[in-house]
Amino acid sequence: MSGTLGIAVIGTGKMGADHARRIDRMVAGARVAAVADVDGERAKEVAAGLDGCGAYTDPEAALAAPGVDAVLIASPGPAHEEVLLHCLERELPVLCEKPMTPDPAGALRVVEAEARLGRRLVQVGFMRRYDAEYERLKALLDGAELGRPLFLHCRHRNAASPSFFTSEMLIADSVVHEVDAARWLLGQEVTAVSVLTPTASGGAPEGLRDPQFVLLETSGGTVVDVEVFVNCGFGYQVQCEAVCEAGSARIGDGQAMVVQSGGRWGGEIVQDFTVRFADAYDRQLRRWTEAVREGRATGPSAWDGYAAAAVAEAGVTALRSGVRERVSLAERPGLYGGHG
């Protein structure tokens, strides 16, 4: 396309408002044409700062608004499927925040609808694939100079969890990022999940099983462990160490600047994902916009969203059962050749 890409942003909470600001200020060739939020006041507030942007409470009305060529979904996970299916009906390219859907059954309905259409329109917001450190680790592993990956040791820590967070969401909402990152970094599927839980931290809200230790086994024989701790109190940390046959590589130490003064050394720990992954969100949106304008599909696909949801479901079952659970995947439609 030659004109500016008009984007409808569905859900204008923390992420939706941030993405709308990003489209407005950081992405060339795109503008926010409409926003929708069930909270009409929130939608109006975000639209007020954006030239020619309509505010709606009904997502379908935003999809049908004048000048809308593409959609960004940033409503809560359970609301994604309905909007995704409407986008596919209207043949609108869509960038959908993770998780694509909270359940594999819903994700499979999206995959099947897109496969029937015969072309990729859905990209899932697994933004770690656009983070500079993750990109370097991916290039190193693909280059194979360290040999075969044996382990990925991952840590995913949030300073505090939102009030609505459940024990299951530590897996389906947080570890789902590691699931996608592991599938992408390794080019393998996750085949089984086990979950161990220590006595909950005193800093966690009553009843929340936080932290958890999640073990993923993969089709290529790599073992991935994830410490997820969403009320660690001290900051936001996402780390990954790949241990390979001939060496190891680690990302996420966050040591951009180390200060030495008064007989001490140290640095800052960022407090949340909007800071740690700001560049990745920018790059994700820029590359998606470029691809949509050129009529291409790139990035994590609906199949990746489905595979991550299937692993998350096995993880939630393992959390409840206390035993190792196998992951079962549907047959992959031809539309989704290899790993995205």
Residues making contact with ligand NAD (CB under 6 A): 10-16, 36-39, 42, 59, 74-77, 79, 97-98, 125, 127, 173, 273, 277
Length of the chain: 340
Lookup: tokens for 29: 């060739």
Contact between residue 189 and residue 307 where contact means Cβ atoms under 8 Å apart = yes
- Which of the choices ligand NAD, ligand ISE, none does residue 125 contact, using the CB cut-off of 5 to 8 A by kind? ligand NAD
Closer residue to ligand ISE, CB minimum distance, 20 or 176: 176
CB of 128 vs ligand NAD, minimal distance in Å: 8
Closer residue to ligand ISE, CB minimum distance, 230 or 318: 230
- Which of the choices ligand ISE, ligand NAD, none does residue 74 contact, using the CB cut-off of 5 to 8 A by kind? ligand NAD
The gap from C-alpha 259 to its chain's centroid, in whole angstroms, comes to 32
Q: Which residue reads 């109190």 in tokens?
A: 233
Q: Strands 212-218 and 190-196: what pairing?
A: antiparallel
Q: How many CB atoms lie within 10 A of CB 264?
A: 7
- Which of the choices ligand ISE, ligand NAD, none does residue 93 contact, using the CB cut-off of 5 to 8 A by kind? none
* Integer Cα distance of 96 and 80 in angstroms: 7
- Which of the choices ligand ISE, ligand NAD, none does residue 171 contact, using the CB cut-off of 5 to 8 A by kind? none
CB of 158 vs ligand NAD, minimal distance in Å: 10
State the residues that interact with ligand ISE by CB under 6 A.
Answer: 98, 158, 173-174, 177, 230, 273
- 163 SS3 class: coil
- What is the spatial order of strands in the sheet that 122-124 belongs to? 54-56, 30-36, 5-10, 70-73, 94-96, 122-124
- Which of the choices ligand ISE, ligand NAD, none does residue 230 contact, using the CB cut-off of 5 to 8 A by kind? ligand ISE
CB of 9 vs ligand ISE, minimal distance in Å: 17
Contact between residue 10 and residue 72 where contact means Cβ atoms under 8 Å apart = yes
- Which of the choices ligand ISE, ligand NAD, none does residue 174 contact, using the CB cut-off of 5 to 8 A by kind? ligand ISE
Contact between residue 133 and residue 234 where contact means Cβ atoms under 8 Å apart = no
Closer residue to ligand ISE, CB minimum distance, 115 or 160: 160
Lookup: tokens for 120: 């990729």
- Which of the choices ligand NAD, ligand ISE, none does residue 95 contact, using the CB cut-off of 5 to 8 A by kind? none
Closer residue to ligand ISE, CB minimum distance, 33 or 169: 169
- 227 SS3 class: strand
CB of 26 vs ligand NAD, minimal distance in Å: 16
* Integer Cα distance of 22 and 243 in angstroms: 36
Contact between residue 335 and residue 114 where contact means Cβ atoms under 8 Å apart = yes
- What does the DSSP 8-state code read for residue 300? S
- Which of the choices ligand NAD, ligand ISE, none does residue 305 contact, using the CB cut-off of 5 to 8 A by kind? none
Q: Which residue reads 């439609």 in tokens?
A: 333
Comparing every residue's Cβ against ligand ISE, the nearest one is 174
CB of 323 vs ligand ISE, minimal distance in Å: 25
Closer residue to ligand ISE, CB minimum distance, 19 or 177: 177
Q: Residue 63 carries which side chain, given as an amino acid letter? A: L
CB of 226 vs ligand NAD, minimal distance in Å: 16
Closer residue to ligand ISE, CB minimum distance, 210 or 325: 210
Q: How many CB atoms lie within 10 A of CB 185?
A: 24
CB of 141 vs ligand ISE, minimal distance in Å: 22
CB of 150 vs ligand ISE, minimal distance in Å: 26
Contact between residue 23 and residue 285 where contact means Cβ atoms under 8 Å apart = yes
